[in-house]
Amino acid sequence: MYYLKLILRNAMRHKLRTGLTVLGIVVAILAFGLLRTVVDAWYHGSDAASKTRLITRNSISLVFSMPLTYSSKIRQMEGVKAVSHANWFGGVYVTEKNFFPQFAVQASTYFDLYPEYLVPPGQMRDFQRDRKGALVGRKLVDAYGFKVGDQVSLRGTIFPGTWEFVVRGIYDGTEKNTDTAQFFFHWDYLNETMKRTAPRRANSVGVYVISLASADRAAEVAATVDHEFRNSLAETLTETEQAFQLGFVSMTEAIVVAIKIVSFLVIFIIMAVMANTMAMTVRERMAEYATLKALGFGPGHLTLLIFGESLAIAAFGSALGIALTFPVADKFGKAMGTLFPVFYVNSETLIMQMCAGLIVGAVAALLPCVRAANMRIVDGLRSVG
């Protein structure tokens, strides 16, 4: 208790210097936590992916489709529990700024493969019955004010024209990392329209979603599917849902790496600032440390005082930075809208912030501790004045 009081009093000797150092640590820890949360949001799709789902697409690119007839063949393969299909729609809601994923899905089977999407039974029945019905995620409701019964118009880009929908249901997620920023509607509605306006594009599928009887058979089933359609007009590439999601992340891998580097660079910079603060503190107190040594206090006592002061400043600044991370991340996530469907501070980020703060305090005190411990009494007393 005595040492703690002495450490706190030492830390408050130069209130301005200590205050500015704490402020720097707060900003660094806050920035580190926010940047790590952005990285986590980038990988949310792969982290939330199911091990019992496979995604089959055209082996050339997602831009190219596959025949609808593949569905029955995939369903008959050993190890396949269920299969559904979907098309990326890519429409515009009011303006290009309002971006959110839109999918035309096989309404009768698609949501059986995604139990993490929670839809009230009554709303699901209404959606199934209405060919122009749509299901929207909770985050879209918060962002655009959608409610059940609203009419929504999307301007098609991949599929030209103005498409009219009626919101029949709102889905939530079973987990915090479930994507609730998507817009689903009937694939049959899209296909019937294509039959009238562009017959060559009808009966085509963007991706097949395969539910597996066992996650252990993922590689086997994927190989079977791709072998089945080898040398066809639309060869396939089947991969786990996680690998499929990581394929999108890899397109922006350079940005993700840059953000990671910057997050650690921020910690390195504040570490240098903290080290400079402790070096100045020790240099000013050399005479005091020499006096303590002359009175019989050993190097361990001096090390404890310096180390404790550095950790106290770093811990206080880190605690404030961590506390501010939550409201700042919440406001940042809302400002980004649907750009980051899932944006929250997870426990791993908090642990990294705490560890970063402790490391900053410990490393910043190393050289000052060594200097004070090895100082000769006569040299320390000579520094008076």
> String of b and e for 282-296 (b: at least 16 CB within 10 Å)?
beebbebbbebbeee
Task: Give the closest residue to 53 by CA, choosing from 82, 92, 13, 17.
Answer: 82
SS3 content of the chain, % helix, strand, coil (to 5): 55, 15, 25
Residue 94's CB: how many other CB atoms inside 10 A?
11
Contact 166, 134 (CB under 8 A): yes
pLDDT of residue 180: 93
Q: What one-character-per-residue DSSP string does 304-334 give? A: HHHHHHHHHHHHHHHHHHHHHHHHHHHHHHH
Burial class (CB in 10 A: 0-12, 13-18, 19+), 324: middle
Residues 348, 351, 353, 354: what is their CA dihedral angle, to the nearest 10 degrees? Answer: 180
Residue 208 has pLDDT above 70, yes or no: yes
Q: Which of 15-24, 183-192, 195-204, 364-373 has the largest mean confidence?
A: 183-192
Confidence of residue 302 (pLDDT cuts 50, 70, 90): confident
Euclidean distance between CA atoms 274 and 292, whole angstroms: 25
**Which residue, 64, 51, 48, is CA-closest to 237?**
64
Region 55-84 average pLDDT? 94
- Beta-bridged to residue 166, according to DSSP, are 133, 151
The residue ranking higher by pLDDT, 305 or 33, is: 33
Residue 7, pLDDT > 80, answer no
Give 141-188 pLDDT, tens digit per residue.
Answer: 998 999 999 999 999 999 999 999 999 999 999 988 889 999 999 999
Report whether pLDDT(256) > 80.
Answer: yes
Residue 10 pLDDT level (bands cut at 50, 70, 90)? confident
Locate 103 and state its tokens: 């999918």
**Using 50, 70 and 90 to split pLDDT, how confident is the model at 384?**
low
**pLDDT averaged over the chain?**
89
Q: Give the number of other CB atoms < 10 A from CB of residue 257.
A: 11
pLDDT of 298 reads 79
Give yes or no for residue 380 having a pLDDT over 70. no
Torsion of CA 268, 273, 276, 278, to 10 degrees: -100
Q: Token match 């411990």: residue?
A: 373
**What backbone torsions phi and psi does residue 379 show, to the nearest 5 degrees?**
-70, -40
- Pairwise CA distance, residues 338 & 112, whole Å: 25
Burial class (CB in 10 A: 0-12, 13-18, 19+), 46: middle
Residue 29: which of 231, 315, 251 has the closest Cα?
A: 315
Lowest mean pLDDT among 104-108, 114-118, 137-141, 247-251: 247-251
pLDDT of amino acid 385: 45
Cβ atoms 209, 225 nearer than 8 A: no
For 311-334, the pLDDT digits (tens) are 889 999 999 999 999 999 999 888
Average pLDDT over residues 262-282: 88
Rounded Cα distance between 6 and 288, Å, is 13
How high is the pLDDT of residue 324? 95
* pLDDT at residue 219, as a whole number: 94
SS3 220: helix
Average pLDDT over every residue of 38-55: 85
Nearest to 137 by CA among 343, 333, 338, 344: 338
- Which range has the top average pLDDT, 17-21, 51-55, 248-252, 309-313? 51-55
**Interval 86-113: pLDDT, tens:** 999 989 999 988 889 999 999 999 999 9
pLDDT of 62 higher than 90: no
